[in-house]
């Protein structure tokens, strides 16, 4: 028993458990009948009085409460998770699609590109990503059409991380390049492309997987931080509740729900609180998974 406990990869277990909990939430609309996420409810009559939104969690048939426009938080959180995860995975895939080949090429050839990547990586790292992204988005959104806002958002976040990831891959590649099995492959006349594909990439697979898992977490953190500065993918709209106009988000994306409603934390803490907690837990889960992956890979490498 002690041996099993000692061998258990705890970070992976914790990460998977957290992700399973989040997956259950994401599946709620597919399994149980819930209100549509964009159904506005400006008032509910119960007990002879008209209740105005936001409705507190566990009241009037809202398990997790409602937002300022009376929209069901449970269904919005469930749908919002798909946005947040979908966008963060897409951003990391874009980042990897550029950075991994670039890093492999630079690390293998060890030429000016590797030096340029290192310089660029240091330069980009020295300015907070948040400030750079907001500046680039603000500037580029004036150049491109408004309908390009979502692709632009993904592209800018992806681009900011490319130099760092490419530099990381280049360093790993350069380390593997000096290994005897690579020198052997060069000696028997294999082409560079074949060596990178057949010998270098399989060795780096684990390290790159760990780096990409960590990148997913970082992208979600950046999305949350951007939302705090009112930078998010969707529009906002004005809804009249009673006599009071309230500004709410259109798309139920977690970081946007948290950022736009952050001032509600004193009066209606569940509105920004639930999305923030879910976003935080997802980031934590991905970090734990990355750590678990790193340990698994180290053990495998150690034999």
Identify residues 5-44 at the interface with another protein (CB under 8 A).
10-11, 36-38
Rule CB under 8 A: is residue 107 a binding residue for another protein?
Answer: no
What is the contact mask toward another protein in residues 240 to 259, using x (rule: CB under 8 A)? Answer: ----------xxx-----x-
Q: Determine if 54 is a binding residue for another protein (CB under 8 A).
A: no
Asked if 196 touches another protein (CB under 8 A), the answer is: no
Interface region with another protein, contact rule CB under 8 A, candidates 41-49, 59-67, 112-120, 124-132: 124-132
List 7, 244, 266, 300, residue binding another protein (CB under 8 A) = 266
Tokens encoding 267: 């009066």
Question: In whole angstroms, what is the distance from residue 112 CA to residue 193 CA?
Answer: 19
Which C-beta is closer to another protein: that of 154 or that of 185?
Answer: 154
Stretch that binds another protein, among 62-70, 105-113, 145-153, 172-180 (CB under 8 A): 145-153
* CA 269 – CA 265 distance, rounded (Å): 4
Binding residues for another protein restricted to 209-238, rule: CB under 8 A: 209, 212, 217, 220-221, 224-225, 228-231, 233-235
Segment interacting with another protein, rule: CB under 8 A, options 109-117, 165-173, 174-182, 268-276: 268-276
> Based on CB atoms, which residue is closest to another protein, 92 or 170?
92
Point out which span in 46-54, 93-101, 171-179, 188-196 binds another protein (CB under 8 A).
Answer: 93-101
Q: How far is the CB of 193 from another protein (least distance, A)?
A: 18
């Amino acid at each position: 028993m002690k041996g099993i406990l000692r061998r258990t990869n705890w970070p992976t277990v914790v990460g998977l458990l957290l992700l399973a909990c989040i997956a259950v939430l994401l599946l709620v609309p597919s399994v149980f009948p819930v209100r549509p996420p964009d159904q506005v409810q400006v008032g509910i009559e119960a007990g002879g009085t008209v209740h105005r939104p936001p409705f507190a969690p566990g009241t009037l048939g809202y398990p997790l409460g409602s937002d300022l426009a009376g929209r069901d938080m449970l269904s919005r959180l469930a749908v919002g998770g798909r946005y947040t995860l979908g966008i963060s995975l897409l951003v990391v895939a874009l980042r990897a699609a550029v950075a991994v080949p670039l890093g492999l090429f630079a690390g293998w050839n060890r030429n000016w590109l590797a030096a340029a990547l290192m310089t660029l990586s240091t330069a980009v790292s020295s300015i907070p990503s948040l400030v750079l992204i907001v500046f680039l988005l603000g500037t580029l959104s004036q150049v491109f059409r408004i309908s390009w806002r979502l692709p632009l958002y993904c592209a800018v976040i992806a681009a900011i991380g490319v130099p760092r990831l490419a530099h990381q891959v280049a360093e790993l590649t350069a380390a593997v390049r000096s290994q005897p099995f690579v020198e052997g492959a060069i000696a028997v006349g294999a082409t560079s492309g074949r060596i990178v594909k057949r010998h270098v990439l399989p060795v780096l697979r684990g390290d790159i997987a760990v780096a990409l898992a960590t990148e997913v977490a970082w992208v979600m953190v950046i999305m949350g931080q951007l939302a705090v500065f009112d930078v998010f993918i969707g529009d906002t709209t004005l809804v009249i509740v009673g006599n009071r106009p309230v500004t709410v988000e259109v798309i139920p994306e977690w970081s946007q729900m948290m950022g736009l409603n952050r001032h509600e934390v004193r009066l209606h803490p569940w509105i920004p609180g639930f999305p923030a907690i879910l976003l935080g837990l997802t980031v934590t889960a991905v970090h734990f998974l990355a750590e678990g992956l790193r340990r698994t890979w180290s053990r495998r490498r150690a034999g």
